[in-house]
Structure 1
Amino acid sequence: MSRVLILIAMLFTSSVYAADDVYTGFFSNKAVSGYDTVSFFDGAPVKGKSAFKTKYQGADWLFASQENLDKFLADPEQFAPQYGGYCAWAIAEKDDLAPGDPKYWKIVDDKLYLNYDQSIQNKWEKNIPGFIDLGNSNWAKR
């Protein structure tokens, strides 16, 4: 019985946290839930396609086009979401890891931030600079 519980715990742990702290969710290795991170910077996030895929920080990153994949490969840190795609508010306010949802996003100073849901994003938007400062400090300790 204890072996089964250990195996289940290992399965969930490895599914939730990809290498280098990139959020991929349960039963997936897709960063940003499979969205094309470059497309956020164009103002219209879209899902990526498996034909345009790369590995980065232990996760699979999908893109809508070869052009977007090439942009990402040229400067992945520019396009990857902050805090590994975890919720920016949770990192800042709670120093905790919560899923970032690509439906709730914002570009600030040319960096992509994700939040857990609309209510959390509303909280985060009340003090974006303060939450970014706290988030950066908390993330650096990880």
Structure 2
Amino acid sequence: MKTFGNLFLFGIVLFAAISVQAQTPPVDDNGLAVGGYDVVSYFSGKAQHGSNSYAVKHHGATYYFANKANQDAFKKSPNNYLPQFDGYCAWGVGAKSTKFPINPETYTVIDGKLYLFFNGPFNGEPFNTYEDWGQRTTELKTAAHANWPAVKNSK
């Protein structure tokens, strides 16, 4: 019985580890934006899961917030909090001129703008696009903004 308990606990830990590294589209098939993370929370320095109790629909996507204050801030000025490149991986847009899904816990805020990144397994290997972005921020940020108009309309 102790072995079953240990296996069950191992399964929960493994699931939690995989979930943290899970990639998500900027808006999923159900219309949920950024994997349910509170886009206002990023500006306080900590990515937080939102709650459907504090939901706002904006341009066809549903955003969740951790609390009423964040929900109200978003309602007042949504453009201040929306991620760049419609929430796609900033590195993917800048370095590869393509749309990559994102890991909602891998992000940066630069000049009051939110940038999200892919961070997870790619071809069986760990791949964190933020690492390259961090080394070439100015170059990749400039390229991403220049590339976005063409990338935005691509599939």
- Tell me which interval the TM-score lies in, with the shorter structure as reference length: 0.7 to 0.9
TM-score by length of 2: 0.73
Letter in 2 for 1:87: C
Q: CA deviation at 1:103?
A: 1.2
Q: CA deviation at 1:42?
A: 0.6
1:40 corresponding residue in structure 2:
42
SS across alignment from 2:46: coil
Q: CA deviation at 1:45?
A: 1.4
Identity %: 31
SS across alignment from 1:28: coil
1:132 matched to 2:147: no
Q: Which of the residues 80, 85, 88 maps onto 1:86?
A: 88
Deviation digits for residues 68-107 of structure 1, max 9, x if unmatched? 0110111111101111111000001111010121111011
TM-score by length of 1: 0.79
Report the count of equivalent residues.
121
Give structure 1 stretches of 5+ with no counterpart: 1-15, 18-22
Give structure 2 stretches of 5+ with no counterpart: 1-23, 120-126
Dislocated runs of 4+, deviation >6 Å: none
Tell me which protein shows more helix as a share of its residues.
Answer: 1
Over aligned residues, Cα RMSD in angstroms? 1.6
1:98 corresponding residue in structure 2:
100
1:111 corresponding residue in structure 2:
113
Letter in 2 for 1:86: Y
1:13 corresponding residue in structure 2:
none
1:57 corresponding residue in structure 2:
59
Letter in 2 for 1:24: V
State the distance in 2 between where 1:100 and 1:34 align: 12
State the distance in 1 between where 2:117 and 2:46 align: 17
Deviation digits for residues 17-54 of structure 1, max 9, x if unmatched? 8xxxxx213x4311111000100101111111101111
> Which structure has the larger Rg over C-alpha atoms?
2
State the distance in 2 between where 1:60 and 1:124 align: 28
